[in-house]
């Protein structure tokens, strides 16, 4: 099974998601952005916040980072005022999940 790497920068709920994935027996790890740079993890998934994507310079910069890391999928979590929405691009390889509250 593929690994999921959660980038902790600008992401308040990183620990909550990590614990959920571990309970589901999904191989996951919380990493700092600096640890991702220079590493190579083929066929992995990167999970990060919309705030980090914006800080990096947008979707294209995040996709460049994911390619250099070897990730085949990117999931961006966007904490907004909308109840729930999923937007898929690049054949589902890039997902934006908008939510109001993860604990409900």
Domain count, the chain: 1
> Is residue 104, in this structure, part of any structural domain at all?
no
Contact 49, 11 (CB under 8 A): yes
User: Which range of residues forms the domain containing residue 90?
Assistant: 4-99
- Is residue 1's pLDDT more than 80? no
> Is residue 59, in this structure, part of any structural domain at all?
yes
pLDDT 10s digits, 68-98: 888 999 999 998 877 788 999 998 899 999 9
Which pTM value belongs to this model?
A: 0.88
> Is residue 91, in this structure, part of any structural domain at all?
yes
**Tokens 């085949």 — which residue?**
72
Strands (E), the chain: 4-7, 28-31, 44-49, 71-79, 84-89, 94-99
Quickly count: other Cβ atoms within 10 Å of residue 16's Cβ.
12
């Amino acid at each position: 099974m593929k690994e999921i790497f959660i980038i902790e920068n600008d992401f308040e709920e990183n620990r909550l998601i990590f614990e959920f994935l571990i309970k589901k027996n999904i191989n996951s790890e919380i990493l700092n952005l600096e640890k991702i740079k220079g590493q190579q993890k083929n066929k992995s998934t990167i999970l990060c916040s919309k705030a980090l994507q914006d800080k990096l310079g947008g979707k294209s910069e995040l996709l460049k980072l994911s390619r250099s890391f070897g990730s085949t999928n990117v999931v961006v979590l966007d904490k907004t005022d909308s109840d729930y929405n999923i937007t898929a691009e690049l054949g589902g390889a890039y997902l934006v999940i908008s939510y109001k509250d993860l604990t409900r």
